[in-house]
């Protein structure tokens, strides 16, 4: 979860988020080098009153400053394409979860189990426990097994919402009448917080998301207890 003074990304909880952070760092290094080089040249030109006549109308210089940006773009494009393939759909998910956005709460359906569905509302400040997080905790968390391929189907019942959990690198628009699909893999246990990322009305800020990652055995025990109740 993001905390005060946290200017960078949240700690990753999935291989996809790790790769997104690596790609961000890679791109930032390239951009810093470009800004530093261009800034040095501009600084040098401001304080230099001499003119190199061989640089004027120079075909060699024009070839260099055309080819060099193309090479830089290739260095950025290849890791980006690799990430796009990592984001691609999976064929054999271990579990399928469907989420539907409402004004202003989320509902979840575990498609692999019969009659396992619930609504997830934000816990009000009055009902919040001492260890809870204001505006982030919910009454029913999304419990998912770690080290398992998870497919998520995202839709909405009224207006456009967006199901977002930064620690997992997940963000999918929930659009009425349309089913969007995302897949992810959680590689550690814990609680991961998210919020709706699409302005959806007056209570847009009050429909948080909490994903609880547990072991497979704990997940099966939770499913059994839910089906019995």
Q: Is the pLDDT of residue 89 over 70?
A: no
Per-residue pLDDT tens for 173-191? 999 999 999 888 899 999 9
- The CATH number for 67's domain is 1.10.287.90
Residue 7 located in a structural domain:
no
Question: Quick check: pTM over 0.85?
Answer: no
In tens, the pLDDT along 58-83 reads 788 888 888 999 999 998 999 898 88
Radius of gyration of the chain (CA): 24
Does 131 fall in a domain?
Answer: yes
pLDDT tens digits along 30-58: 999 999 999 998 888 888 877 777 777 77
- Quick check: 6 pLDDT over 70? yes
**What percentage of the chain has pLDDT greater than the value 70?**
99
Tokens 């989320």: give the residue.
Answer: 106
* Structural domain range at position 84: 15-88
Q: 83 and 171 share a domain?
A: no
Most distant CA pair in the chain, distance: 85
């Amino acid at each position: 979860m993001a905390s005060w003074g946290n200017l960078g990304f949240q700690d990753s909880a999935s291989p996809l988020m790790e790769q997104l952070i690596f790609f961000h760092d890679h791109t930032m290094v390239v951009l810093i080098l470009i800004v530093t080089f261009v800034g040095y040249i501009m600084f040098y030109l401001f304080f230099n009153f001499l003119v190199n006549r061989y640089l004027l109308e120079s075909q060699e210089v024009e070839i260099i400053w055309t080819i060099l940006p193309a090479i830089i773009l290739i260095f950025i494009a290849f890791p980006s394409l690799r990430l796009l393939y990592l984001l691609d759909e999976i064929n054999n998910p271990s579990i399928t979860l469907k989420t539907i956005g409402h004004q202003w709460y989320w509902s979840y359906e575990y498609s692999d189990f019969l009659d396992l569905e619930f609504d997830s509302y934000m816990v009000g400040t009055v009902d919040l426990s001492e260890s809870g997080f204001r505006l982030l905790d919910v009454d029913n968390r999304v419990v998912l097994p770690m080290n398992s391929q998870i497919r998520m189907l995202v839709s909405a019942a009224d207006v456009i919402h967006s199901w977002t959990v930064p620690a997992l690198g997940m963000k999918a628009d929930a659009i009425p009448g349309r089913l969007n699909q995302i897949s992810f893999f959680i590689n550690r246990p814990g609680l991961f917080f998210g919020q709706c990322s699409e302005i959806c009305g007056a209570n847009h800020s009050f429909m948080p998301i909490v994903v609880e990652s547990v072991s497979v055995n704990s997940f099966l025990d939770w499913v059994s207890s839910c089906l019995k109740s």
